[in-house]
Amino acid sequence: MSRRSGTCVRCCLVVFAIASALAVCGPAIYWRFKKTLSLADPKSSSCPPCICDCPPPLSLLKIAPGLANLSVSDCGSNDPDLKQEMEKQFVDLLTEELKLQGTVAEEHARHMNITLADAKRVASQYQREAEKCNAATETCEQARERAEALLIKERKVTSMWQRRAHQMGWEGE
């Protein structure tokens, strides 16, 4: 079944290619064929001469003499008022750009100050927590040292009692 459908697709593509070629080239072939037939037929090739009483076309210079010079780059360069206004606008644009950059810089600085204050606050909180942990560790260490000293003292007392018990005849451990 797939071989049959592949053949069908190929045939459809060939038909589509021929139809596309005729659609593109067909009108040109038609007009060339029609022109060839009209040259062979003397009746259709003879037409009366044209009688035209039209005025000559107007030139661009006659319609709008100002449009003939299409260079826009030097437009208004001779007018000092226009030149001053254009410079003023440029200065205004630069001033506005500088103000905008200043505003952005101030906003950035404000954001950085807020971030720095938050970082200092968090660092201070962590420092306090670390100091609490250090104090608790020192307290635990001191308690451990005291407990160790008491344990050593208790072992000495225990070993002394064991010696006395052995001397008195106790047969334990």
Is 129 a member of any domain? yes
Reported residue count of the chain is 173
- As for how many domains the chain has, the answer is 1
Query: Is residue 173 predicted with pLDDT exceeding 90?
Result: no
Is 28 a member of any domain? no
Give the pLDDT confidence score for residue 72 in this predicted structure. 53
Give the pLDDT confidence score for residue 92 in this predicted structure. 82
Q: What is the mean pLDDT of residues 134-154?
A: 95
Of 113-122, 141-150, 164-173, the range with the lowest mean pLDDT is: 164-173
- The DSSP-derived string for the chain is -HHHHHHHHHHHHHHHHHHHHHHHHHHHHHHHHHHHHHHH-HHHH--PPP---PPPPPPHHHH-GGGS----TTTTTT-HHHHHHHHHHHHHHHHHHHHHHHHHHHHHHHHHHHHHHHHHHHHHHHHHHHHHHHHHHHHHHHHHHHHHHHHHHHHHHHHHHHHHHHHTT----
pLDDT digits (tens, 9 = 90+) for 16-74: 999 998 888 888 888 887 877 766 655 555 666 777 777 777 666 666 666 555 555 55
Q: Which domain holds residue 97?
A: 80-168
Contact 75, 83 (CB under 8 A): no
pTM score, two decimals? 0.35
Is 141 a member of any domain? yes
Give the pLDDT confidence score for residue 149 in this predicted structure. 95
**Rg, the chain, Cα only:** 54
pLDDT digits (tens, 9 = 90+) for 87-137: 777 778 888 889 999 999 999 999 999 999 999 999 999 999 999 999 999
**Amino acid in position 82:** L
Is 97 a member of any domain? yes
Is 42 a member of any domain? no
Give the pLDDT confidence score for residue 93 in this predicted structure. 80
Cα–Cα distance measured from residue 84 to residue 78, given in angstroms and rounded to the nearest whole number: 11
Within 10 A of 113 (CB to CB), how many other CB atoms are there?
Answer: 10
